[in-house]
């Protein structure tokens, strides 16, 4: 979710580096797949091992997701920025001296594809059918507001740590998501690709397909509200 990316600061047209773009796509696909493996896999394991204690299962799910995020960002940020999230990619485009629009489709396709593959891999590892449909009800004003808050906060902490070393940004993001599992009623999806993919699992981490659109709209609202803040923060960072 931070770091140098092919396509950064390339708002003007220049020759396309197809090898660099392919590397970005592959990196985002693999990194996002690992994120969903962590989210869904730890949810399945926690649900099975915590003997019906939902609070303990959620705690395990949150800690594992936060730890995995730290490792994924540190490992993949040098290759693609480790966005793992369409909201982060769109924010990067809309910030001063940011990502070039022409590489955005590569990010988005890789993130969604990686997220779906991650869910399927988690199912295979835990002996579940590859294809499932989520039945976990996640809808209503509370969860929608929670997704606005979670997405706003995620973007704020990412851009707020722009000047820090990569491992600090990774730790900040991992800690924020682990905490937001608990202080938001939606358990902080804050990611359209993750939201869509989690509709394909009928496990602890799942969501009904009919509830996906409400979450994604809320996430886009969170992005819109955060833009003035993160654009200002990006402008300050560029000026240094």
Residue 85 in any domain: the answer is: yes
Residue 40 in any domain: the answer is: yes
Confidence (pLDDT) at 9: 45
Domain of residue 142, residue span? 18-239
pTM over 0.75: yes
Residue 1 in any domain: the answer is: no
Residue 5 in any domain: the answer is: no
For residue 226, what are the contacts with CB-CB under 8 A and spacing of at least 6?
91, 151, 152, 155, 156
Residue 170 in any domain: the answer is: yes
Distance, in Å, from the CA atom of 24 to the CA atom of 232, rounded to the nearest integer, reads 26
Confidence (pLDDT) at 237: 76
Distance, in Å, from the CA atom of 162 to the CA atom of 96, rounded to the nearest integer, reads 13
Q: How many domains does the chain have?
A: 1
Confidence (pLDDT) at 2: 52
Residue 10 in any domain: the answer is: no
Confidence (pLDDT) at 162: 85
> Residue 24 maps to which CATH number?
1.20.1080.10
Please give the distance of CA 202 from its chain centroid, rounded to a whole number.
20
Average pLDDT of each block of 10 consecutive residues along the chain (240 residues)?
A: 47 70 97 98 97 96 98 97 98 92 96 98 98 97 98 97 93 98 98 98 98 98 97 81
């Amino acid at each position: 979710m931070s770091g140098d990316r092919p396509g950064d600061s390339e708002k003007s047209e220049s020759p396309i580096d197809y090898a660099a773009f392919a590397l970005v796509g592959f990196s985002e696909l693999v990194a996002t797949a690992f994120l969903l493996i962590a989210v869904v896999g730890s949810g399945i394991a926690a649900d099975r091992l915590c003997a019906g204690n939902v609070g303990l299962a959620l705690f395990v799910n949150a800690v594992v997701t936060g730890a995995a995020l730290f490792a994924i960002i540190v490992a993949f940020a040098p290759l693609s920025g480790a966005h793992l999230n369409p909201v982060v990619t769109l924010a990067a485009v809309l910030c001063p001296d940011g990502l070039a629009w022409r590489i955005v489709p590569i990010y988005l396709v890789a993130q969604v594809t990686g997220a779906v593959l991650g869910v399927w891999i988690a199912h295979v590892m835990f002996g579940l059918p590859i294809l499932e449909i989520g039945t976990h009800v996640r809808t209503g004003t509370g969860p929608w507001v929670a997704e606005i808050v979670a997405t706003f906060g995620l973007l704020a902490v990412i851009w707020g740590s722009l000047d820090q070393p990569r491992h600090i940004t990774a730790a900040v993001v991992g800690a924020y998501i682990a905490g937001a599992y608990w202080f938001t009623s939606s358990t902080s999806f804050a990611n359209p690709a993750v939201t869509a993919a989690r509709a394909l699992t009928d496990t602890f981490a799942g969501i009904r397909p009919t509830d996906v659109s409400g979450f994604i709209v809320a996430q886009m609202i969170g992005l819109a509200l955060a833009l003035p803040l993160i654009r200002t923060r990006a402008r300050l960072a560029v000026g240094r």
